[in-house]
Amino acid sequence: MDYYLKVLKNYAVFEGRARRKEYWLFLLFNILILIVLSILDQILGTFDSETKKGFISSVYSLAVIIPSIAVSIRRLHDTDKTGWWLLLNLIPLFGSLVLLIFFISDSQRETNRFGINPKLEDFT
């Protein structure tokens, strides 16, 4: 949960690096929260069956879109790639697969142009 809150605190920080752990735990908590909010939408009747979207979960998704983009860019920085690589999402299937490979790749061990390795910062 600390990593989730850390990403929210760095709401619009697009500089620096994010560890795999930070990125994937943020994604995990995001998915869990969306599942709970979707169930809440069903219970409260705020789910629109025509559009297959719930009001509460949609508001939450809009609220975390910038932190999600920011942590994705910082994760790419950790592998020594610019945030522009996120535009690969615009290429169906292929782009998502390439980004998945980048996101699961290990950090660049040494300091790179985006900053110190966050793994090393945790030990200091």
Q: Is the pLDDT of residue 124 over 60?
A: no
Q: Cα separation of 111 and 114, whole Å?
A: 8
* Mean of the per-residue pLDDT values of the chain: 92
Give helix then strand counts, H and E, for the chain: 6, 2
Q: How confident is the model over 54-105, as pLDDT tens digits? A: 999 999 999 999 999 999 999 999 999 999 999 999 999 999 999 999 999 9
Q: Is the pLDDT of residue 43 over 60?
A: yes
Contacts of 87 (CB under 8 A, 6+ apart): 95
pTM equals: 0.88
What does the pLDDT average to over 27-53?
A: 93
pLDDT beyond 70 at 47: yes
Residue type, 78: D
Query: For residue 100, which of 37, 24, 36 has the smallest C-alpha distance?
Result: 24
Residue 88's identity, in one-letter code, is L
* Confidence class for position 106, pLDDT limits 50, 70, 90: very high
| pLDDT of 121 | 67
- Count the residues in the chain: 124
For position 54, what pLDDT does the model report? 94
